[in-house]
Amino acid sequence: MSDTPKTTVLSLTEEEFVHPGNRACSGCSMGLLYRIGAKALGRDCIFVVPPSCMTVMQGLYPVSASQFPIFNCTFASTAAVATGVRAAMKRLGRTTQVVAWAGDGGTSDIGIQALSGALERGEDIIYICYDNEAYMNTGVQRSGTTPCSSLTTTTPFTGKAQAAKDVPAIVAAHNPTFVATCSASYPLDFHDKLLRAKQMRGLKYFHIQTPCPPGWGCEERLTIKIGRMAVESGLFVLYEIENGVKRLSEPSARLLKKGRRPVRDYLKLQVRFRHMSDEQIAALQAQVDARWDDYREAFADD
Amino acid sequence: MSNKCIDSGNNAAAHAARLAGVEVVAAYPITPQTPLTEKLSEWVASGEMDAEYVAVESEHSALGVCIGAASAGVRAFTATSANGLLYMSEQLHWAAGARLPLVMCVVNRGVGAPWSVWNDHQDAMSQRDTGWIQLFVKDHQEIVDVTIKAFRLAEAVHIPVMVNYDGYYLSHTYMPFELPDAEAVRAFLPPYVYKHALDPQRPENLNSVTLPDARRDAGGVLRGGYMDIRHNLQQEMHQALAVWEEIDADYRQRFGRGGAPVLEAYRLEDAEFVVVAMGTLANQFRDVVDRLRQEDGIRVGVLAVQVYRPFPARQLAEALQAARGVMVFEKGLSYGHQGALFADVKSALYPWPARPVLRNFIVGIGGREIPTNELCRNLKQACGQDELPPEVADTPNWIGLQL
Ligand SMILES: Cc1ncc(C[n+]2csc(CCOP(=O)(O)OP(=O)(O)O)c2C)c(N)n1
Ligand code: SF4
């Protein structure tokens, strides 16, 4: 809640759970997110990870890039394996956090069945979907959360024709304990939401936008900036849903009063959107404007 | 309290899982397995069984839950049939590759399409190369004993074990069987300990990406690459046969019976002809063989293959050295080739001096009735004709076709 003190770069724990050096691309925002998120999670947790950039980032057998026990599972079974680990912790009388950490493909496509099952059962796990908006590990193919018009290797030339699945909304429809959207460009927002989620029982779902230089066609040095622009343009909205009540998180709530950046600024920094016509950009801007008109009504009191 | 009961095969399996001290059960319904896991859910709900029961949304997840639980250090169990087993296929490979000591009952059923709920062995046959140990049992007593023993085997060799029993023939029929005493089972099967259990105190990255070649770890120790890891599984799979024999001997000593040693011979001492079969079919053949011996004076016996993977090639070849003819009857196929068991038996015999005449019979696919008279007739005929052209002898004979 807003009354809990916010973590700042100064108050963030200096303890590291991720070894220096890993196999992420330079400029990968997911790697940064993982490092900061780990600080919130603390040492007493077990990770369950399906095939994804995260698998590779951790390093190749027999070395590991982090100081957590990590179980690498099959692509479709993240939430089920986490369920099993959770059941074991219960049997062993341990309160260890079970954290599923999966990509958007592993969450929105192949893994959605297991996730839906775990949501319905109310498993006591933290499920983190980092959304780099395509299958990056296999070379930038479209996923269920790839945005409309985005170029990928399986949506070449004109980009993806369909809109992205709204996974947090799908998750929210299961009525879990907690749903939060985050951005790798606001890692402390993620950190503090994790701290709160740790105190809750039931399934806590995080959906995090993680800009990806090779997949998005952007400069490595710009990933944090691009993630910020996604939020500042109102395209990617940070919010949380607790007990069914949705609240905009600070970086997005701020936009209710302050103006938003044009989405064009965000799009133009990325090769994957470079082919978009002025009409397409205008249509996207209109969609975002309409969404924010709704938000202004819905969150008038915030 | 008497430990004797008359109950279904599925309930026999449920009793075994409970006695084995299973702590996490995950399952998804599929006929004819369903009553087994329903029974476990009933016991967990009533407090008769102290375990977590997870009713999952698919078989892929059922095995996923077991994989997670076993990796985190508790004994886990599931069961399935037919398409449920196929839906798990990816997880089957994963569990074996991760060397997880899981036990799963597979209540054998024909595989769709077209749908069939009736028994044959195609489900298990299609998954025989997943790296699981596969056991086949013949009656309710064996379901109980073998399932309990399977946990000890799995945990001794770190390889998952599939206990196969015939749908309906065993799952839904009632037979008398005896349950071992719970205390005695606890003494036979020590608590589950998993050396690499996921533990924040001792972090390890399990099943991470490997390379073709060996690499040194942070301590400078050379660790095998993917191929070396695979080689270890193959070697230890073979060693599992000897371990199973030891476990069987120990169980016999404690409980007075074993159930499903590697191979089980019936009237083989003086047999000129031998029937090789698995599951309840091997039981049915005891009658067939008795009749042929009595009515026609044909010296014929039965060899039941009870450990199918790892394949007991040497033991089988030795047992068949004196035979003039070997007839493999089976309920599963390697499509485009021949009966899967037949191909295994043939390859087991090849390096040995004796080369009996071999015949392959396919029976009971998708629950087609297997009349004992038909088995008698076919077996008798096969025993009389040892000079068939190789291509004919090598072609499976389908018994009971209605074309
Ligand atoms: C059953 C199965 N199908 C396909 C694959 C190949 N595969 C590995 S990672 C991956 C894409 C992962 O994408 P995502 O979940 O979005 O994570 P990212 O790589 O973007 O981090 C795919 C398709 C697989 N491992 N398993
Ligand atoms: S492909 Fe993208 S998400 Fe994957 S490691 Fe590289 S930058 Fe990170």
Q: Where are the domains of chain B?
A: 4-188, 263-398
Q: Does any domain span residue A240?
A: yes
Helices (H), B20-71: 34-46, 59-71
Query: Between A and B, how many CB-CB pairs are < 8 A?
Result: 173
Write the DSSP assignment of chain A as a string of letters: -TTSPPP-TTTS-----B-S--SSPTT-HHHHHHHHHHHHH-SSEEEEE-SSHHHHHT-STT--SBSS-EEE--TT-HHHHHHHHHHHHHHHT---EEEEEEEHIIIIITTHHHHHHHHHHT-S-EEEEEE-SSBTTTTSB--TTPPTT--BTTBTTT---SPPP-HHHHHHTT--SEEEEEETTSHHHHHHHHHHHHT--S-EEEEEE---HHHHT--GGGHHHHHHHHHHTTSS--EEEETTEEEE-HHHHHHHHSPPPPHHHHHTT-GGGTT--HHHHHHHHHHHHHHHHHHHHHTTT-
CA distance A89 to B341: 42
- pLDDT tens, A193-250? 999 999 999 999 999 999 999 999 999 999 999 999 999 999 999 999 999 999 999 9
Residue nearest to atom 4 of ligand 2 (CA): A53
Contact B72 A73 (CB under 8 A): no
A201 to chain B, minimum CA–CA distance in Å?
Answer: 17
- For ligand 2, whether the C-beta of A214 sits within 6 Å is yes
Q: Does any domain span residue A4?
A: no
Ligand 2 atom with the smallest distance to the CA of A103 is 3
State the average pLDDT over residues B162-172: 98
Helices (H), B256-371: 280-291, 313-319, 340-349
Supply the pLDDT for residue B258. 84
Ligand 2 atom with the smallest distance to the CA of A136 is 1
Q: A126 lies in which domain range?
A: 29-299
Supply the pLDDT for residue A34. 96
- Check pLDDT > 60 for residue A1: no
Which of A138, A143, A208, A210 maximizes ligand 1 atoms within 8 Å of its Cβ, making it the mutation to test the pocket?
A138
Residue nearest to atom 2 of ligand 1 (CA): A75
Residue nearest to atom 6 of ligand 2 (CA): A25
Ligand nearest to the CA of A29: 2
Contact B24 A84 (CB under 8 A): yes
State the average pLDDT over residues A131-150: 98
Tell me which chain B residues have a C-beta less than 8 angstroms from the C-beta of A68. 200, 203
| Coil/strand/helix, residue B64 | helix
Instruction: State the complex-level ipTM.
Output: 0.96
- pLDDT tens, B248-271? 999 999 999 987 789 999 999 999
Q: How confident is the model at residue B354 (pLDDT cuts 50, 70, 90)?
A: confident
CA distance A118 to A125: 9
For the whole model, what pTM was predicted?
0.97
- For ligand 1, whether the C-beta of A132 sits within 6 Å is yes
Spacing, Cα A153 to ligand 1 middle (Å): 14
Q: Does any domain span residue A254?
A: yes
* CATH of the structural domain B4-188, one choice from 3.40.50.720, 2.160.20.10, 3.40.1640.10, 3.40.50.970: 3.40.50.970
What backbone phi and psi angles, to 5 degrees, belong to A66? -140, 170
Q: How many folded domains does chain A comprise?
A: 1
State the average pLDDT over residues B68-75: 98
CA atoms within 13 A on the CB side of A206: 30
- For ligand 2, whether the C-beta of A32 sits within 6 Å is no
Question: For residue A55, what is the domain's CATH number?
Answer: 3.40.50.970
- pLDDT tens, A14-72? 999 999 888 899 999 999 999 999 999 999 999 999 999 999 998 899 999 999 999 99
- pLDDT tens, B83-135? 999 999 999 999 999 999 999 999 999 999 999 999 999 999 999 999 999 99
Residue corresponding to tokens 């998954």: B127
Mean pLDDT of chain A: 96
Contact B206 A44 (CB under 8 A): no
Spacing, Cα A57 to ligand 1 middle (Å): 14
* Torsion sign across C-alpha atoms B109, B62, B240, B192: negative
Q: How confident is the model at residue B1 (pLDDT cuts 50, 70, 90)?
A: very low
Q: How confident is the model at residue A2 (pLDDT cuts 50, 70, 90)?
A: low
Contact A90 B52 (CB under 8 A): yes
Residue of B nearest to A72 (CA): B207
State the average pLDDT over residues B233-250: 97
- For ligand 2, whether the C-beta of A136 sits within 6 Å is yes
Supply the pLDDT for residue B244. 97
- pLDDT tens, A197-213? 999 999 999 999 999 99
Q: Are B75 and B21 in contact (CB under 8 A)?
A: yes
Domain B263-398 fold: Rossmann fold (3.40.50)
Spacing, Cα B393 to ligand 1 middle (Å): 47
Residue corresponding to tokens 């698998």: A55
For residue B234 the two structure tokens come to 């193959």
Contact B71 A71 (CB under 8 A): yes
Question: Which of B91, B205, B226 has the highest number of chain A CBs within 10 A, making it the mutation to test binding with A?
Answer: B205
B180 to chain A, minimum CA–CA distance in Å?
Answer: 25
Supply the pLDDT for residue B198. 98
Tell me which chain B residues have a C-beta less than 8 angstroms from the C-beta of A62. 215-218, 221, 223
A149 to chain B, minimum CA–CA distance in Å?
Answer: 33
- Check pLDDT > 90 for residue A77: yes
Contact B90 A74 (CB under 8 A): yes
Q: Are B106 and B164 in contact (CB under 8 A)?
A: yes
- Check pLDDT > 50 for residue B351: yes
Supply the pLDDT for residue B385. 83
Tell me which chain A residues have a C-beta less than 8 angstroms from the C-beta of B63. 77
- Check pLDDT > 80 for residue B331: yes
Tell me which chain A residues have a C-beta less than 8 angstroms from the C-beta of B76. 84
Question: Residue B348 is which amino acid?
Answer: A
CA distance B273 to B326: 6
- For ligand 2, whether the C-beta of A24 sits within 6 Å is yes
CA distance A234 to A260: 6
